A and B are shown apart, each in its own frame.
Chain A
């Protein structure tokens, strides 16, 4: 156990009373509550936590929050819970936390992959692209090696044992970021009575306030951290306000819809996590108004050898000092182009570090700063640059030379020792969410960075996110933004009084921004990193430009800059500037790459939320489902429905069950649960006119008590649905649709009623699940109906095909239809679904003396194929007209217009050589064709491209015909009846088939089978 040598005696949001033990890279460390993995490791003097993606060079802690590009580790030893690519700067420690370095072998410190660095010339920019585009086989050769070498963390294995949740919220004002601006915004908005959500990415409110010296600064007489917590506590006490910490706004979408990702319990030891709470939550927030108080991100400096562990953003170093009570280095060198880093030097010195110098690219430094540095005995190097660094696994020194113009250095090299190099290239407003919201960025010449320009949605930026860096300005713009947002949301609000500020923070002034710091070295020997995660150097970007990838989006993809898990939070601006500088264009003209959601990686678990496993999607079941499940049914999904596919008796195979059921449905009686069919109640005096327009056949003369089959076409003339519609009264019909088409048919019909035929008096209401349906098939079916139902004589002699009547079973009303899916004598009994299970058991009981058998959808498909009945979606695929199905009889040309009629007259739909539905019989009655098999005209398969005539749509072994049968679509099939064709198969010669009519039962009657 180490003793945290770099822990300050006091200060920061750290509970020194409690000590936490954790493991990193196989070694034990201690920290305290309030620590992140980064601050605890720094307290123990550990800077190196990872290795680079490509060259495997040592990587350290560079930032202090979500902006850190490269300090990524694997959390957790449990294979199902392990979390890859976790920023050490965000992961809070807990007792027993286990973290491992990733992308290293055998260990972080001795890594074989570091050999890549030696051969870095062979891994140039566009390496992947070139390998892809190179000779065939290159990618195959390299891919396994690249995958192994250029890895990130390891994804968890096995089902995720944790719970996640998505929740929805609406609010008047959503404030993103709880720094000084965000807190003031939330306060101003909350005071108006608005519903407010304040989301803070890190564990504590305060933002930048937590990184400034509390000895110098007071807000309303309090330390900055206390002021921030007090405001947040007051807000949290209001029942109109929700304050969320550890919650990152990850996506800003249309209509002010913002996704928040809350890490509810990742900061707790597994044993301490509340069992009733999810591990993480996604909050889907619809905000009337949004305040973006997302702060700013510090920009790195791009100089030779700027990637060693111990090289850290100066602002991050201050955060470690003040927020976490850690001195991240003992001998600190500061390299800056602006004033803010000078404060870092002073703070670090006050915290106990020795400052080995301040190197500033600028020649003219503010006198006050120079005075302060002199007072503190800090050596300064104005107008100078770092031209190289030393140190293997941690920086040990830097070489400094005087700047000569913008692009050169001159004079002697001064070597300065250090164990921390704090760098600052100025501050950039964090415009990621603003840009996601579709806001237009404006380039600020003074900042040499982008700031929010014109808004597109109902949002405004405040504080550093709006390029207002001073504390007073942050508080003021925050309060104003909060008040404005509340007002725009319809409330009465004022910014209120500003708290009194004592002390405060020196801001950056005007930075001297150079796309690349000169090193005086030959170009090919310069290794200055732009993107630390993806290992992109200035050389790579220049190479991309040289090879013609001069659009910023192309340069990004060619070099992969900004494409890592950090999406280039700190890197991108430098890449834009380098591209601009190299091309000699202004930065605004080069523009930016797209700021995409998410702001940072969000777990799939959180996005899926509670909608996983058994809760993933509704599994719609019929009222008799439990009976089916108890009686050997195997199910198939049909849309969202689970339908019984066959009922297997013990020892019986699926195929045997289907054969048995199919025989029963023709030889005596079988019953199908047809409850899932779509049903629409149609009412109104124009109902007949309506039906005439939506079906291809005529409905004017269908009498009450009668039913009819209809085909429904789309506007393109293609069959979209079919079903039987019954006339209850002249103004009242009961339509059935296919199971899968129920919702889309109703939408289609409502669409016409509401937009095209507003003159028709017709109401449509879905009644799909009001009715539970038992469909009986077979010669004895009428006897079961007769035994069961009162008030009806179902004798087929008198109760004709396509009739229906009201009846009762034990006094419960039913509707009995004589309609048939199978071509056999068949009846349907409809009952209110509450009685559906009871009806089913009554049918089974009543049918017992006729040896009734339940039959499933597979037998149903087989039975209708025997009769040549189509199944929409099986014989049709959206390109079949009624003519293609050789069902011209159902199209009535004389009744007036109907949907799709005109399309049937198009030359293409009217031609005679379209694919048409036919029967296909193999010579060998035992041989079953494969559904989807292609039909060709030759005995042997010709060389590709094979001229194909069509394909098999349905194929079965029919027990009732005692042979195989198939339906298929074949070019000009109607004129090929009797012809010999061949069906291809994967292994073996094409199978000879005879083209026949589709009604196999009729063919048997005529002796043609």
Chain B
């Protein structure tokens, strides 16, 4: 019987770093993640009261801080990020605050995991995987965007600025089933600066014929 009850999709992967701190990647396990659907005009006060964080007023931005934040995903779609195990209380508070208002709160904490990509070369690593403009001029701390990274859909959030020691830090939220694929491609992207290469989960026996 397995001792570990709760496992992130990347629980077998250790954080990786390129020499000299050029770039590093690490899974941020068990962050609370909720999808919140609500008309921001109608729901903003209740959301702020429930979470302590205002809804982002601008598209593709985040409010709050690295621990508790709300990300703008669409005109009536937001992600509420909480510290580990904070999502249950946050969901309950949102349900209570938004009662009577058309809304949806869905727990996606297990659905997606967060990979932190940080360091002076983090942007260039991301540029190898996405057609989003992630140049510092176009994408800065507090910005959020959903796009395709390699062949997987994911959401990117720049948490800290380029002026921070150690360079900017991004979080990439990726579906759990695609996390290993993304992890290995990120490592591959960092290989140029000395990050160790990773081999995706594999070795299974396939049977295609009857």
Say if the beta carbon of B110 comes within 8 Å of chain A.
yes
Say if the beta carbon of A621 comes within 8 Å of chain B.
yes
Within 8 A of B (CB), among A821-843: 832-838, 841-842
User: Which of chain A's residues has its CB closest to B126's CB?
Assistant: A168
Say if the beta carbon of A440 comes within 8 Å of chain B.
no
Total residues of chain B contacting the partner, CB 8 A = 62
> A169 — which chain B residues lie within 8 A by C-beta?
127, 135
Asked whether A763 and B104 contact (CB < 8 A) given A167-B127, A621-B177, A812-B5, the answer is yes
> B200 — which chain A residues lie within 8 A by C-beta?
614-615, 619
Chain A 665-695 against B: per-residue CB contact (8 Å), 1 yes, 0 no?
A: 0000000000000000101110000000000
Say if the beta carbon of A330 comes within 8 Å of chain B.
no
A716 to B7, CA, bound (A): 44
> B9 — which chain A residues lie within 8 A by C-beta?
623
> A625 — which chain B residues lie within 8 A by C-beta?
201
Is B191 in contact with A276, judged by CB distance below 8 angstroms? yes
Select one of B7, B76, B150, B152 contacting A838, CB under 8 A. B7
Asked whether A277 and B192 contact (CB < 8 A) given A168-B130, A683-B37, A683-B103, the answer is yes
> B109 — which chain A residues lie within 8 A by C-beta?
770, 832, 834
A681 to B77, CA, bound (A): 14
A832 to B176, CA, bound (A): 12
Is B6 in contact with A765, judged by CB distance below 8 angstroms? no
Is B151 in contact with A617, judged by CB distance below 8 angstroms? yes
Within 8 A of B (CB), among A85-132: none
Asked whether A681 and B104 contact (CB < 8 A) given A634-B206, A636-B206, A841-B1, the answer is yes
A835 to B176, CA, bound (A): 13
> B192 — which chain A residues lie within 8 A by C-beta?
165, 276-277
Is B205 in contact with A833, judged by CB distance below 8 angstroms? no
Select one of A615, A767, A838 contacting B2, CB under 8 A. A838
Taking the nearest CB of chain A, how far is it from the CB of B91, in angstroms?
Answer: 12
Taking the nearest CB of chain B, how far is it from the CB of A883, in angstroms?
Answer: 30
- Pick the interface stretch among B47-55, B59-67, B180-188: B180-188
Chain A 971-988 against B: per-residue CB contact (8 Å), 1 yes, 0 no?
A: 000000000000000000
Is B106 in contact with A641, judged by CB distance below 8 angstroms? no
Say if the beta carbon of B202 comes within 8 Å of chain A.
yes
Q: Interface residues of A toward B: which range?
A: 35 or more
Taking the nearest CB of chain B, how far is it from the CB of A379, in angstroms?
Answer: 58
Say if the beta carbon of B80 comes within 8 Å of chain A.
no
Within 8 A of A (CB), among B157-199: 175-178, 180-182, 184-185, 188-189, 191-194, 199
Chain A 590-629 against B: per-residue CB contact (8 Å), 1 yes, 0 no?
A: 0000000000000000000011001101111111010001
> A615 — which chain B residues lie within 8 A by C-beta?
150, 181, 184-185, 188, 200
Within 8 A of A (CB), among B106-144: 106-112, 124, 127-133, 135, 137-138
Asked whether A634 and B8 contact (CB < 8 A) given A169-B127, A841-B1, the answer is no
Is B35 in contact with A832, judged by CB distance below 8 angstroms? no
> A195 — which chain B residues lie within 8 A by C-beta?
135, 137
Select one of B106, B188, B203, B208 contacting A765, CB under 8 A. B106
> A634 — which chain B residues lie within 8 A by C-beta?
204-207
Q: Tell which of A621, A623, A768, A832 has the most Cβ of chain B within 10 Å.
A: A621
Say if the beta carbon of A635 comes within 8 Å of chain B.
yes
A829 to B7, CA, bound (A): 18
Is A769 in contact with B104, judged by CB distance below 8 angstroms? no
Say if the beta carbon of A170 comes within 8 Å of chain B.
yes
Asked whether A642 and B204 contact (CB < 8 A) given A170-B135, A770-B110, A838-B6, the answer is yes
> B72 — which chain A residues lie within 8 A by C-beta?
none
Is A833 in contact with B110, judged by CB distance below 8 angstroms? yes
Is A168 in contact with B107, judged by CB distance below 8 angstroms? no
A845 to B5, CA, bound (A): 14
Is B202 in contact with A614, judged by CB distance below 8 angstroms? yes
The 5 A-B residue pairs with the shortest CB-CB distance in the complex, in nearest-first order: A620-B177, A833-B110, A763-B104, A683-B104, A618-B181
30 A/B residue pairs, CB under 8 Å, sorted by A: A168-B127, A168-B128, A168-B131, A276-B191, A276-B193, A277-B192, A610-B188, A614-B202, A615-B185, A623-B7, A629-B203, A634-B206, A637-B206, A641-B177, A683-B106, A684-B102, A761-B102, A763-B103, A765-B35, A767-B107, A769-B176, A770-B110, A771-B110, A832-B110, A835-B7, A836-B7, A837-B4, A841-B1, A842-B1, A845-B1
Interface residues of A (CB under 8 A from B): 163, 165-170, 195, 276-277, 284, 286, 610-611, 614-615, 617-623, 625, 629, 633-637, 640-642, 645-646, 654, 681, 683-685, 761, 763, 765-772, 810, 812, 832-838, 841-842, 845, 931
Given known contacts A833-B110, A833-B111, A837-B2, what 15 new A-B pairs fall within 8 Å (CB)?
A276-B194, A286-B131, A610-B189, A611-B150, A615-B181, A618-B151, A618-B177, A620-B175, A633-B204, A636-B207, A641-B177, A683-B104, A834-B7, A836-B7, A836-B110
